[in-house]
Structures are given as structure tokens and as C-alpha cells.
Structure 1
Amino acid sequence: MDQIIISPSKYVQGEDTIAKIGDYIKPLGQKAAILADSFVTGLVGDTVKKSCADAGIEQRMEEFGGECSRAEIDRLMEIFKAEGSDVVVGIGGGKTLDTAKAIGFYHKIPVVVVPTIASTDAPTSALAVIYTPEGEFSEYLLFPSNPNLVIMDTKIIAGAPVRLLVAGIGDALSTYFEARANGLSGKATMAGGLPTKAAQALAKLCYDTLLADGYKAKVAVENRVSSTAVKNIIEANTLLSGLGFESSGLAAAHAIHNGLTKLEECHHLYHGEKVAFGTLTQMLLENAPMEEIQEVLTLCRSVGLPTNLFDMGVKELDHAKLMEVAEASCAEGETIHNMPFPVTPEMVYAAMLSAHQIGLK
């Protein structure tokens, strides 16, 4: 099997970068389909419109409905197709960006993603997570190429609620551990081959950056200021985690996240908050050293990530429901089968209960 690493064509990170978005879009197209939810439109809509107008780009801004579902993708595709758009721009959170990537794929036009938060590693990937209209995980949609352009405005991201940055830390936390497991199993990564040493190094750098700067970044954003630590965590949550997971592989942590969408009590949680517990569960599943588990627990507690099921909103342990989560985690085609040993629902169930107990404060 070949070794493969994939990435966006261009990644731009800096303060007030969104004010120059027109200049960055211009080489990709002249009629921009811009997708954002109502809050993001109010936050940056005028800036984006002015920048596009100054660059001579026609644009149509449309409101995102809130869920990256097949129905929402189809609705927006019809609107932008009628406009004759030749580049699609997603501005906002992970579901907005995934929807823009899907539209670009089906319309065969360039894709620009502009996160206003650093809560997931979705922006850089050639992947979208499709949900049902009710918010349950449905499927992964894989694309032949990554976004053409990723723009990260650190000033906007630092001004977002701290919980979103922390959720991004939770998502990025899994990168190294899933990459390590996938490397041991020798299974194909999301990039379609074996990991390169570069991709594995990025995954480890992601984890090291979280340990070094995660708490410092949280404190800065709580005070609504940016700092070197904030900028480092934005890069870790987005670029390092994105390239690390995609070209080094997913394993149990994200599959357990997908299983947790079956628990109604967890629907209020962000993606990365569930992934953090999925990472702890994976570590129990693979019998990781207790010292390493404690290191992860310390990081999670310092930034406010959940370390047990009660933290996640579960009132009491319903063992039948937990087994449903475990069974969903082990569904055919799930990334849990990239672990370096066969995994059964019973094993996941046991690991979840153990992770919960160890994670209780």
C-alpha cells in the first residue's frame, strides 16, 4: 500500500484576515456562493460583501439551516445552481463548512472554508460528516480533494465562546491516539493509503501543542484576548489535527463519538466534547498505561472537557442504552475497525464503563 498525505491547497491564518477574503477568493472564481448561518452573517457579512465587491466578485449569501443533512445540501445546491456560482464559500462552524464542501463537490467548483471557531478539525479535510435532519450521525462523505483554501481569522476565533475552542481541543486530542492505533494496524487512512512520517509527526505535534498551550489558550479566550498560545491552539485544532487525522487515520475515538449520538442526553454536547470521552474510552480499550491516561485526564480537567458520562449529561447509567452506543460504535464500516485488534460491542461497553469510573472526579 502506498504512503499518502493530503492537505488543502492553501492555509491562511492571521488577525483580520477575513477583511482580505475577496483577494483570496479571486483566483478561484468570479461568482461566489457564500453560505453562513444568521449569527455569522450578522458578525462578518458586511465585511465579506465589501471585500468581495472591492475585488470585483459577484456574490450571493444564503443562510445555512443548521444541520449538514442531505436535505439541506440539496436545498442550497438548487439555489446556487440557479445563480451560476463558480466558487462556494462556507463561513462558520463545522457543519456549515461540511455543507459547503459537499456543494463544491457536487457542483464541481472550488471550495473556500472560513471557520469562525476552532471547534473541530473539519476545515482542512476532504471529508464531510452527514447527519440526519434530527442530528444523528448518518454517514461520511469522502471527496477526491481537500478544500482549495482555508482562511482562519484568529481575532474572530479568539472572540468566540471559550467552550468552542475547548471543544476543538477535545477533537484534536484524539488525533495522536487514533493515528498511533491506525499506524499499528496498518489499515488505510482517510487519505487512502498508509501514513507518511510527516503525517504521524503532525499528529504527535498536535498532542504536544495541546499539552503545552491548551490551558493557557483557554484562560486567554476567557478574557476575550488573543495570545501566542491561542494562535498555537487554533493551528493545532485545525491544521495539525486536520492533516494528522486525515493522513494518519481514525480509530475508536471517533467511532465511539458516533455511537454517543444515540444518547439523547448527549445531543447538547459539541463534537469534540464527545470525542474527548471517546479518546479516554479508546485508551481503556487498548489498555494504555495509567500514566498516559492520567496525562489526558489532567488536560481534560484543566480546560473543562468531560471525563465521564455524568459530565456529559447522563443522569443515571442505563446499561441497555450504553450497549446500544457500543453496538453503533462497532457498526460495519466504522473506524473502530482500524484498531490493531478485533473490537466487539462488549469490549467497547466495558471500556466505556471503565473510562467513566476512572474519569469521575
Structure 2
Amino acid sequence: MKVFGAPRRYVQGKGALDHLGPELARLTDAAALVIDPFIDDLFGARLQASCNAAGVSLARLRFGGESSPAEIDRLLAALGDTPPPLVAAAGGGKCIDAGKALANRIGAKVATIPTIASTDAPTSHNYVLYDDDHRLLAVEKLPANPDLVLVDTQVIAEAPRLLFLAGIGDAVVKLFEVERCVAAKGRNVFGADPAFSALILARGCYDVLRRHAPAALAAVDRKAADDALDLVVEATVLMSGLSFESGGLSIAHSMTRGLSAVPKYARALHGLEVAYGVLVQLVLEGRDADFFDDLLGFYAAIGLPTSLVALAGAAPTPEEAATIARLTLSAPHARHFPRVLEEAEVVRAILAIEEGRFADALVEDAMQGSKSPSTAPGLAV
């Protein structure tokens, strides 16, 4: 059975922050806003004014910095005895996760207001909890996707370039992961069969990024939203989120489990980790030299990492490569591959990439007896 999940309403554009009040008024007359302190200083009064004008009572709660159970307890206590029917969150990924977790605690609706475009998490029904030392505790799920996602592209344009690049990295891998999940007859994030619509969205997302990512990055350098940035934000936040949740993931996102266990890679931005991780996946698929020349040219043009040295300044030892491979294959999404992978072939792929060998005989023995076409059978539109 197929399941396709999506936010109830998605709003994007320059000046979107000024529309928060009218958008929330569609859903409620009272809300709590979990807000990053930096964002509160910049935009808190503006958001408050929009809500006041729309007749929405807004209680602003400054985020403490970590999406941890202790922080959720603190935010819950700050709500008092009458929690609102909706929790909004404005800021980066951790702040939005905290808002989702708080909403889940009180059974409230959710609105997300991302102020960076580093991942597609604002559209997702997932959220992550960490301990106070930033160690992952759990990935939890809301009953449904957010009721509202509101993205101000001018705010995104003024955020750090590296975060915007990470969002491109997180999104560009989705096509390859959804293809593999569909080909392997895997399960999407809802535990259902992948929706074909998700594959079409993943293809569209990839096409937008290949065509418009350089110009969008130039807009971020100018700190001025334009048409290219608008297209890329829609791809990285909306299209990417819809495609991965309803289409499924594979090796690229499984790699984060291994990379996070090696200290010198653990602090890399998620989107840059998976941009590297999909290269491992593609080596394991046996993609040809022309394919890699094209993709690596795109990576080089915009600054995505093509090795672990490029990701974090250091190559892995054989022992570290083995740790990454072992933990990668322990992730549930690693099963979304046309064949069962062995730890040794993942290690070979990791080490081959560090040597600049992508379509190389080093991993041919891992390919024997396995057909790994560039496009899975039955996926043509």
C-alpha cells in the first residue's frame, strides 16, 4: 500500500514573515512560537506584529539551543496550565525539532518557519532528539506533517552560504536514493510502498538543482533573493522533503550513521555528509566514468565535497573506514539497495573515493553477478 504525506499548506516568498499572522489565523487564534534567540532579536517583533494584526495571540519562547528532553520539559513548563492548540518554530533545524517535539507533547498542530535552507526537515513529520552533549537519542514522528510551512526567501538569502550549500547537498541525493528504494521494493518513511509521485518530485528536484544551484548560490553571495534562489529553495525545502518521505532513502543517508561515529567527521553538516555519502552509493552501484565526470563537475562547480578529505580535512584510516561501513549497513535504509551489501565492499568504495577512483576496477569484484543500471527497470515515465 502506498502512502504520500505532505504539509497541509506551504507558503514561500520574499516577505513571507509578514504573512505569519494571517496564515496562523487559518488554523488558530492562539499559538506558541519557539524561536531561536538570534532570530527573535532580528524578527521577533515583526512576527509578533503580524500575529497581533491578524488577531492571533502569540507567546514567544526563546529556544535554549539543544533539542533535548530537558529543553522540551523547560518549554512545556513555560507554556503554563493552558497550552495553545498550535506550536510554531522559527529558526534552524534544532529549533524546529524542539517545536515539533513540544507540539507532540501537548497534541498541538505544528507550523515551521525555517530561517535557513540547510535541510528539508521543515516539511517533514520527523524530528530528532539529542542529549545535552549533542548525542542522538531518538528520531521521533509527529502524527502528521506540519500544518503550515512558511519560508521567507529574503531571510534565506541573508543566511550563511555554507548552510545553503548544505541544503543543496541534502536535496541533490534524493533522486538516487528514491530510485534505489523503488528498485529494491523498499519502504518509505511512512512504512509504506514508495509513491511514484515521490520519484517524479525527486527527478524534478534534481533537475532544478542542476540548472539553477550556481545562480542561487550567487544570489546568496549578494544576499538578495531572486528567481533562481526561489526555485532552489522550493527544491531543497519542499520537493526534497516530499520525495524522501514518500519515496524512501538508501545508502547516502545511511552513511550519516557511520560518519557520526568517527569524531573527525561527526560535526560536518548533514547535507554535506549525505552529498559525500551518495558518492559511495553510486560507486557501489557501478556507475560509469561519464556519469561521474558529469556529477563531479557539478560538485566542483558549487563546492560540494568529493571525498572525506574535502568534507573534513582528513582521510579515514582503514579502521575508521570499517567503522563507517559497519554502522552504515546497520541503518534500516541500507536495505534499500538492489543487493545485500557486504562491509568489505563499502570499505573499498570509501577508500577508492579518497584516491579519486570512482568508476574503477577496485570495486568490480563487489559488482560481480549484480546488474546495477543507471536507471532502475520500470521507472521510465
What is the CA–CA distance in structure 2 between the aligned matches of 1:271 and 1:316, rounded to whole Å? 18
Which structure has the bigger radius of gyration?
Answer: 2
What is the CA–CA distance in structure 2 between the aligned matches of 1:346 and 1:158, rounded to whole Å? 43
Alpha-carbon shift at residue 26 of structure 1 (Å)? 1.5
Change in CA separation of 1:300 and 1:283 when aligned onto 2, cut-off 3 Å: same
Instruction: Name the aligned partner's letter for residue 298 of structure 2.
Output: L
The structure 2 residue matched to 1:349, chosen from 343, 347, 350, is 347
What is the CA–CA distance in structure 2 between the aligned matches of 1:232 and 1:105, rounded to whole Å? 31
What is the CA–CA distance in structure 1 between the aligned matches of 2:319 and 2:280, rounded to whole Å? 18
Residues 134-143 or 148-157, more deviating: 134-143
TM-score with structure 1 length normalisation?
0.94
* SS across alignment from 1:358: coil
CA contact (8 A) 2:100 2:127 kept: yes
* SS across alignment from 1:135: coil
Instruction: Name the aligned partner's letter for residue 355 of structure 1.
Output: I
* Partner of residue 211, structure 1: 210
Q: Which runs of 5+ in 1 are unaligned?
A: none
1:241 aligns with 2:240: yes
- TM-superposition CA deviations, 1:103-146 (whole Å, max 9, x none): 22221111000011111010111111333332233332122210
What is the CA–CA distance in structure 2 between the aligned matches of 1:339 and 1:131, rounded to whole Å? 29
Change in CA separation of 1:138 and 1:281 when aligned onto 2, cut-off 3 Å: farther
Residues 67-76 or 194-203, more deviating: 67-76
* SS across alignment from 1:324: helix
Residues 80-89 or 251-260, more deviating: 80-89
* SS across alignment from 1:150: strand
* Partner of residue 180, structure 1: 179
Q: Identity, % of aligned pairs?
A: 33
What is the CA–CA distance in structure 1 between the aligned matches of 2:46 and 2:66, rounded to whole Å? 25
Instruction: Name the aligned partner's letter for residue 269 of structure 2.
Output: Y
* Partner of residue 44, structure 1: 43
Residues 133-142 or 200-209, more deviating: 133-142
TM-score with structure 2 length normalisation?
0.89
* Partner of residue 188, structure 2: 189
Correspondence 1:161-180 to 2 at 5 A: 161-180=160-179
CA contact (8 A) 1:119 1:165 kept: yes
What is the CA–CA distance in structure 1 between the aligned matches of 2:95 and 2:241, rounded to whole Å? 16
Alpha-carbon shift at residue 293 of structure 1 (Å)? 2.4
* Partner of residue 256, structure 1: 255
Residues 108-117 or 335-344, more deviating: 335-344
* Partner of residue 134, structure 1: 133
* Partner of residue 276, structure 2: 277
What is the CA–CA distance in structure 2 between the aligned matches of 1:137 and 1:184, rounded to whole Å? 30
Q: Which runs of 5+ in 2 are unaligned?
A: 359-381
Change in CA separation of 1:174 and 1:88 when aligned onto 2, cut-off 3 Å: same
- TM-superposition CA deviations, 1:261-319 (whole Å, max 9, x none): 12222244211011110111111122223322232222221111111111122434322
1:79 aligns with 2:69: no
Aligned length: 358
Two-structure CA RMSD over aligned residues (Å): 1.8
Change in CA separation of 1:44 and 1:330 when aligned onto 2, cut-off 3 Å: same
